[in-house]
Chain A
Amino acid sequence: MTEKRYEQWLAECREVAPPVTLADRIMNQVTKMERQRRDFWWLRLLQRIEQSRAARWAVCGGALAVGGSPFVFLAHVAQFVTF
C-alpha cells in the first residue's frame, strides 16, 4: 500500500514541469554566493593562506607566539625570563 502511494507520488512529481526560470534562478544564486564569497576579505585571505605553505607556517607560528604568551609571562614571574 505504502509502496503504491509512493509510486503514485513519484509519477505526479515527474509530471510537474519545472518552472522555466528555475535554471536562471539557480545560476543567479550561485553568482550571488560567489560574489559574497569574494566580498569577505577574510575568506579571500584564508584561501590565499591555504594555497601557500609558508603562509600556513607563518599563521601557525603567530598563533603559537600569541597563545604561548601566558607561558612566557609565567617564566617571567618565575624569574627565568626578564623583560
Chain B
Amino acid sequence: MASDITSRRVPWVALALSFLSPGVGHLYCGRIAKGLPLYFAWLLVPICITIAALLPPSPTSLVLLVLLPVVIVLIVYLYAAIDAWRLARRIGSDYSLRDYNRTAIYWLLIVVQMIYSIGLIVGVRGFVYEAYLVPASSMSPTILSGDRILVRKLLPQRHFPERGDLIVFRNPTSSKATAFVKRVVAVAGDHVEIHGERVLVNGKELERDRVPDESLKPLGEQVSGRVTYEVNSGHRYLVAYGDSSDGGRAKGDFEATVPERQVFVLGDNRDRSKDSRDFGPIHLGDIVGYVEYIYWPSESWSRFGVANDRLP
C-alpha cells in the first residue's frame, strides 16, 4: 500500500540493490509485480536441469534444458540491473513509499536469494548432474583430455550399470584424483579374460570393427595408436591400442570373475589406462553417476552432445 510520504528513488541505489539480488531494485522502485519474477529467476535452472535428467539424453535437451537456462538467468540478472536503474531515474523524487520499502526487507531478500541460488546449484550438483573436467587420456578416443562432461546422478531407484555404460566412480587408489571415468565391460557374475588386445566376456570375444578415417578427424591430435570400434551388449564405442606415448604400455593377460554387486571397468585407451586390471572391480556403492554429455569438448565441437554410444 502506498503511503503519503514521498521519497526520491536513487538510480545507483536501485542498481546496487539489483546487482546484489535481481528484483530487489524493482521492489525499491515499487514494481513488485516485475521484481518477484526476476527475484525467482534462479529457480529456472534446477527445474529445467531436473527435467533434462528425466528425459532421454539428446543434444536438444542439453542445449535447451541445461545450458540455455543458465544463459537466461545471466541475461535476467543484467536486464534487472539496467531496468531498475532506468526505473529509478524515471521515477525521480515523485515516489510514494510502499509498505515493503524498508531496508530490513531488502537485506532479507538479498541474503535469502544468495543462500537459495547457491543452495540450488549445490543441490543440482549433488543429486541431478555433476560436471567433471577430464584431465587424462585414459578414456580416449571416447573422452579426450580436457573434455568437460556431465554425469547424471538422478537415477531410478534400482538402477544397475550395464555392459558398455560409461561411469564415474570414487577413486579406489591412493592417487590425488577424486574420481575416475571408465567403461563397464563386465557386470557381476561375468567372467572376463584379456589376452593381448582381445577381450572376452563369458568366453565370447567382443566384436571389433574398422573405423573409417573421417570418424577420427574430430579427435584431432589427441589419438595415437590403433583405433577400432568395439561392440559390447548393444554399445559400440571406440577403443585405442598401442598408444605408447607418455609411458603407456601394453598390459599382460588378465582373467577374473566379477563378484556380486561389483563391475569390471576398462579405459577405452587400453594401453594407457589404470582400471580394474590394476585395482580390481568397482563396488556399486562407489559409482557416482553415468556419463551423459560432453558439454565442452576439448577438440572439435562436433563431439559436443551425448556421450551415449548405445546402438539404435
Residues of A within 8 A of B (CB): 46, 49-50, 56, 59-60, 62-64, 66-71, 73-74, 77-80
Contact = CB atoms under 8 A, between A and B. Distances in A.
Contacts of B77: 67-68, 71
A60 B15 contact: yes
Interface in B189-207: none
B12 A73 contact: no
Given A63-B20, A67-B19, A67-B21, A50 B10 contact: yes
B19 A78 contact: no
Contacts, number: 55
The 8 A-B pairs of least Cβ separation, nearest first, read A63-B19, A79-B133, A63-B16, A70-B117, A67-B20, A64-B19, A67-B19, A56-B12
Tell which of B12, B74, B132 has the most Cβ of chain A within 10 Å: B12
B93 to A, nearest CB: 13
Tell which of A62, A64, A73 has the most Cβ of chain B within 10 Å: A64
A70 B123 CA distance: 13
A78 B125 CA distance: 9
B25 to A, nearest CB: 10
Given A69-B114, A71-B77, A74-B121, A79 B12 contact: no
B19 A77 contact: no
B42 interface: yes
Given A56-B12, A74-B70, A66 B121 contact: no
Contacts of A73: 118, 121
Interface string B92-123: 00000000000000000010001001100100
Contact of A70 (B12, B118, B133): B118
A66 B42 contact: no
B61 to A, nearest CB: 17
A79 B132 contact: yes
B20 A66 contact: yes
A75 to B, nearest CB: 10
Nearest to B12: A56
B131 interface: yes
Contacts of B133: 79
